[in-house]
Structure 1
Amino acid sequence: MGQTRPGSVPQAAGGADGAVLQLHVPDADRRHDPAAGAALPSLLAPLFSVALLQACADVDHGKRAFPLLVTTGFKKPVRRPLLQLGGLYLVVALLALTALRLLGDDVFSQIDTTEAVRIDKETLEKLQFPILISALISLSGWLLGCPAAPLIHWQKMTLAKALFFSVVTVGRNFKAFITATVTLYLLCQLVVLVVSLLAAFIPLLALTLMFSTVLLMIVLVHCTLYVAYRQLFGTPPASPEAVDLAKR
């Protein structure tokens, strides 16, 4: 595995899964292929997303959610449209990374040609605008397409139809969706700030808390999306394999 250079700036943004996958990609490959760490998580995100949403539905029906639900998105007939949706997520991720690279070309060119890069205040200021634009592209793509996965899963829609109803739904309820998105974002930033402060005193604990926070935020985002779906489209059915807790 390649060695990470001191002060280097990560170039791939694929969420928590992307960060984990990046650890297994050689450093030289990441420099020349910034999408490597984001490809698989972006492609498979909808398949695992419906598993979490189905778990929410099972719990909502008073039933137990089993780990076997992780295979929900891999079953026919929803597997193909979910993979196609993942392909669109990957395109959005590549657009965001391209914007980041182009707008911050001077900074990344310095990183590519220098063995040790010092990330100072001036460098961070140069990256603020590129990171903002990249984040807005990613956020817009996710926001407009977030209802598509549950529509494919529960309504058995095609990708085109699911995307159409997804965009229309978000457009008609834009204030609610943007409020939820901003709230989740601010909550995440608050937790990251607290963990960063702890890192100055207990680095190992901060690292553990950061990983736990990422997992909790993923669950929280899907719980929020499930509630939004139930409010807009009605309560989805529980999975056939779910066990009714009231009968045990």
Structure 2
Amino acid sequence: MEKLPARVGWHWIKQGWALFRKQPGGMMALLFVCMFASLIIMLLPVLGQILWALLMPMFTIALLQGCAEIDQGRRALPQFLLAGLQSPMRKHLLGMGLLNLLLMLLAMLAIYGISGEAMEGLRTAQARGSIKPEDVEGLFGGMLAGSAIYMVGWLLTSMTAPLIFWQKMAFSKALFFSVVSVLRAIRPLVSAVLILHLFYFFGIQIIVLVLGVSQLSVAGIFTLFLISLVLVHCMLYAAYAQIFGPPQTPPSAPATVDLDKQ
């Protein structure tokens, strides 16, 4: 696999946008189904957030499968939410979920380790009913470190779930190929992520500039956030399709496991 130049990231975004434009309603409906399921899971007492972290690869697969359907001229349907759970590779996808949970815990440890005192101070300020600027100053370092840990981990493992689902690889093998492929395509992937972040940031500024600080602007920012989530997955599908080739197995075909890849 040859190393790809940074400009390829922009092409992935354009390809992802083209996929989204073909069926914006279908992709947004699929995202809403995933978000509704996430909300129901997180409302479960005690284990809700842990279960949500474990099932995140299933939501990723749902959106990526929607992209694959659009790419192959079919419709993105809400029932793709169950594609990962119905796959014979679901135990390997849950292994990816366990890794995702570990990344979240590491990010939280970084936040508490660096900004623990600032968080305690913020709780005290909330209790007394007044929050001053100095109460939140110490949070920046911890939030930055935690976000960096999770983003780097997410980027390196971003190809793992689709490799498990589409190429029927075991978790360990898929993780290895994900890390290797991401490192070789690190420049376009990083450039694509940065461009999408800039798109979201400047989109917020434009919405606030046009609509001001109002309920309508909040609704506009939330809509932009949802579109950005879909575009991240569309871009990720475009990157996967170029690096590993587009998935060929139709969803209606019975899934089989290649034991040679286990």
**What range is the shorter-chain TM-score in?**
0.7 to 0.9
Matching residue of 1:48: 59
Q: Matched residues in 2 for 1:143 and 1:92: separation?
A: 11
Q: Is the 8 A contact 2:111 2:143 kept in 1?
A: yes
Matching residue of 1:11: none
Q: Is the 8 A contact 1:85 1:159 kept in 2?
A: yes
2:135 maps to 1:123: yes
Displacement after TM superposition at 1:76 (Å):
3.2
Matching residue of 2:222: 211
Q: Is the 8 A contact 2:115 2:138 kept in 1?
A: yes
With a CA cutoff of 8 Å and minimum separation of 6, indicate the structure with the bigger relative contact order: 2
Per-residue Cα deviation, 1:194-217 (whole angstroms, up to 9, x for no partner): 455578531x21332233222211
Displacement after TM superposition at 1:91 (Å):
0.9
Matching residue of 1:236: 247
| Matching residue's letter, 1:83 | L
2:204 counterpart (192, 200, 219): 192
2:150 maps to 1:138: yes
2:135 maps to 1:106: no
Per-residue Cα deviation, 1:86-138 (whole angstroms, up to 9, x for no partner): 11111111111111112111211123345145443323332221111111001
2:177 counterpart (148, 162, 165): 165
Instruction: Give me the identity figure in percent.
Output: 37
Residues 1:67 and 1:24: Cα distance change in structure 2 (over 3 Å)? closer
Per-residue Cα deviation, 1:203-242 (whole angstroms, up to 9, x for no partner): x213322332222111101100000011011111253349
Q: Is the 8 A contact 1:18 1:37 kept in 2?
A: no
Q: Matched residues in 2 for 1:116 and 1:197: separation?
A: 34
Matching residue of 2:3: none
1:61 counterpart (53, 60, 72): 72
- How many residues get paired? 218
| Matching residue's letter, 2:94 | L
| Matching residue's letter, 1:236 | P
Q: Is the 8 A contact 1:39 1:90 kept in 2?
A: yes
Question: Cα RMSD (Å) of the superposition?
Answer: 2.9
Q: Matched residues in 1 for 2:43 and 2:87: separation?
A: 31
Q: Matched residues in 1 for 2:38 and 2:218: separation?
A: 13
| Matching residue's letter, 1:240 | P
Per-residue Cα deviation, 1:143-190 (whole angstroms, up to 9, x for no partner): 000000110011101110000000000111111111111112222222
Displacement after TM superposition at 1:46 (Å):
0.6
Q: Matched residues in 2 for 1:42 and 1:192: separation?
A: 28
Displacement after TM superposition at 1:38 (Å):
4.7
Q: Matched residues in 1 for 2:221 and 2:183: separation?
A: 33
Q: Is the 8 A contact 2:166 2:249 kept in 1?
A: no
Q: Matched residues in 2 for 1:221 and 1:106: separation?
A: 34
Q: Matched residues in 1 for 2:199 and 2:76: separation?
A: 26
Q: Is the 8 A contact 1:47 1:74 kept in 2?
A: yes
2:94 counterpart (83, 86, 89): 83
2:184 maps to 1:175: no
Per-residue Cα deviation, 1:15-58 (whole angstroms, up to 9, x for no partner): x88995799589xx9xxxxxx77534322111111111111111
